[in-house]
Amino acid sequence: MPVQDAVSPLPSLLLLLPFFSALVILLGHRVLKGASVAISVASATVCFAISLMLLHSKDSAPVLLPFVSAGKIKVAIELLVDQQSRGMMLIVTSIGLLVHIFSLGYMKDDEGRVRFFGALSLFMFSMTGIVLAGNLIMMFIFWELVGLSSYLLIGHWFEKASAAEASKKAFLTNRIGDFGFMIGILMLFAANFGDVSFLGLKQSFASGALHQVAANQTTFMAVAAIGLFMGAVGKSAQFPLHVWLPDAMEGPTPVSALIHAATMVAAGVFMLVRCAFVIEASAAAAEIIAWIGGITALMAALMATQQNDIKRVLAYSTLSQLGYMVMAVGLLAMQVGGHHHEAGPGHPAMFHLYTHAFFKAMLFLGSGAVIYACHHEQDIWKMGGLRKHMPVTFVTFAIGTASLMGVPYLTSGFWSKEAILGVAFEVKGGSPLFWIGVATAMLTAFYMTRLFVVAFLGKPRTDAAHHSVEAPIIMVLPLIVLALLTVVTVFDKTAVWLEAMLPQHAETHHTVLIASALALVLGSGTAWVLYKGKDKDPLNIKLFANKFYFDEAYAVIVKVFQDALAWIIAGLERLIVDGLMARLPAYLAARVGSAARILQGGHLQGYTFLLGLGVLLVIYVVVFVLPAVGH
């Protein structure tokens, strides 16, 4: 086993490689043309190899580059390699590589192919930065950068108005979250004497300045924790900032798989787990976080039941699963909080993040293969019968669906879901969140069965579905690999090489097991009965189909509180500030002085003379009059 020492260059290389890939593509795409694509894929491959090599390295915290400093306070680009970042890195690079490969097929005929792969490299760089970040400011930096790459990739087909709007919406919604994130960072920065490195914060919460703050100033701590959480609310699309994620499906499907399902949207959860000590320090914040997660999980699952676009169903499912993870973060913090007993290395939320990343990326890539085969048809009601035409996609999609629904013992999704429900169950005095979790699981089984039955079973409903053929091998291969990763139970103790992902919480409770099995049977069975052999949706629930009218409500808020307010303030500014401070004096001056006439004549000499005279006057006053006055 190669053991890396503390100054191993590997983590830095992992970060810099995709950066240079993106930079080279930005500067040289005209010359490189197709080679740009190769560079991007090669960089992703090497990054994956490095992540594997890092799996058995020691924990380390190398400093890469100074960023800003003043006096004793230094903020650096520093990395933190530990169990959490190693595990997450493996997810990011493995799925990243598979998505790169899949995109070779999916984006083959796209004019903006080179731009696409350049942005993909930029994303790999930014995401690596988040995962390896050693302090909150560095995390914020890369946090914003994944936002940029997400913006670029959602808006890949920027000539389409809906894609352009969706990318803007994603960026702005995230900015609102980041507003809170920054406040949280600043509060910790102030309270911890300018040290926001994760190691420093952890130390401080255990026995330093922040330990005192947490004990004595609960409001401050709660606000700081909620501030950080707001960052996650934006990035991980939690209620009430969830609205951008479904629209983000305007991006190419491989992007939806990598960024908007497996990795970037999970960064919020990753960050919360990184900062678990902050949340544990505030019971109030922990409870709020758990509830926001629970609400998101349930609400998004309800919305998913009535969507007809294959990618949107999956997008709402992602929202819902992210809600699950956030709920787990809050719940575990509620348990651990106050006892100062250290949470173990593997967090159930991270475990679910890992398993979800594999099967959701798989489902998205599968939907990409379907969309590709059906000539960019995304409505599940115009598909049907794909089982015969696309057997490999069918089987892999079935495995992904089973895992998302949590089919007991066989799928990784089962273990991670049980872990979260277990935490919810263990909350002292019981918590309604456990039942919300179970209800969400039932709805998940319902909408996934619906999607699967309508799209893959029955008879083809359109020509597009009828003539669909299996995707090319370069697209099918990633599907197979991901499907295998989904069923290899990560939980298996023999899989030592995946040690980085093992959860800490895995006691089985019979109630949990029975409840979730019932939920699965009930949800799945109802959907099967309702949708088997149907050509249109027998249910018609407007509230769910229209996503609880969030978009409409927000449109009104933006109109009133932004555009109308901006219009009013701009008018007042013109009227008062400009009118009083500029127009009036200008008007008076123009009335009084003949200088105005010179100006209106527009002669160069006129101006020069006037202004030259002014300067001379000033000089005269300063040099000769002032001394006389002063002395």
Site residues for another protein, 9-48, by CB under 8 A, read 26
User: What binding mask, one character per residue, do residues 196-225 give for another protein by CB under 8 A, x or -?
Assistant: -------------x---x---x--x-----
Nearer of residues 69 and 546 to another protein, judged by Cβ: 69
Nearer of residues 238 and 468 to another protein, judged by Cβ: 238
Closest separation between CB of residue 426 and another protein, Å?
Answer: 33
Nearer of residues 555 and 611 to another protein, judged by Cβ: 611
Residue 303, both tokens: 């919305």
Q: Please list every residue from 165 through 194 that binds another protein, using CB under 8 A.
A: 165, 168, 171-172, 175-176, 178-179, 182-183, 186-187, 189-194
How far, CA to CA in Å, does 255 sit from each of 136, 150, 262, 263, 442?
26, 8, 10, 10, 28
609 near another protein, rule: CB under 8 A? no
User: Long-range pairs for 192-198 at CB < 8 Å and ≥24 separation?
Assistant: 194/72, 194/73, 196/75, 196/135, 196/136, 196/137, 197/61, 197/78, 197/80, 197/134, 197/135, 197/136, 198/80, 198/133, 198/134, 198/135, 198/136, 198/274, 198/275
Among residues 319, 157, 332, the alpha carbon closest in space to that of 251 is found at 157
Site for another protein (CB under 8 A): how many residues?
A: 81
The answer to whether the peptide bond before residue 240 is cis (omega within 30 degrees of 0) is yes
Q: Please list every residue from 444 through 483 that binds another protein, using CB under 8 A.
A: none
How far, CA to CA in Å, does 458 sit from each of 381, 385, 397, 471, 486?
11, 5, 16, 20, 26
Closest separation between CB of residue 147 and another protein, Å?
Answer: 8
Q: Please list every residue from 575 through 594 that binds another protein, using CB under 8 A.
A: 577-578, 581-582, 585-586, 589-590
631 near another protein, rule: CB under 8 A? yes
Q: Which of 137, 264, 392, 423 is the binder for another protein (CB under 8 A)?
A: 137
DSSP letters along 206-217, please? Answer: HHSHHHHHHHH-
Nearer of residues 26 and 395 to another protein, judged by Cβ: 26
Q: Please list every residue from 64 through 83 that binds another protein, using CB under 8 A.
A: 65-71, 73, 75
Please tell me the number of Cα atoms within 13 Å of 158 on its side-chain side. Answer: 11
Nearer of residues 9 and 66 to another protein, judged by Cβ: 66
Closest separation between CB of residue 394 and another protein, Å?
Answer: 37
560 near another protein, rule: CB under 8 A? no
Nearer of residues 69 and 511 to another protein, judged by Cβ: 69
| Residue span binding another protein (CB under 8 A) among the ranges 388-396, 435-443, 520-528, 605-613 | 605-613
Give yes or no for a contact between 300 and 439, defined as CB atoms under 8 angstroms apart.
Answer: no
570 near another protein, rule: CB under 8 A? yes
Q: Which residues of 225-250 are buried (b: 16+ CB within 10 A; e: fewer)?
A: bbbbbbbbbbbbbbbebbbbbbbbbb
596 near another protein, rule: CB under 8 A? yes
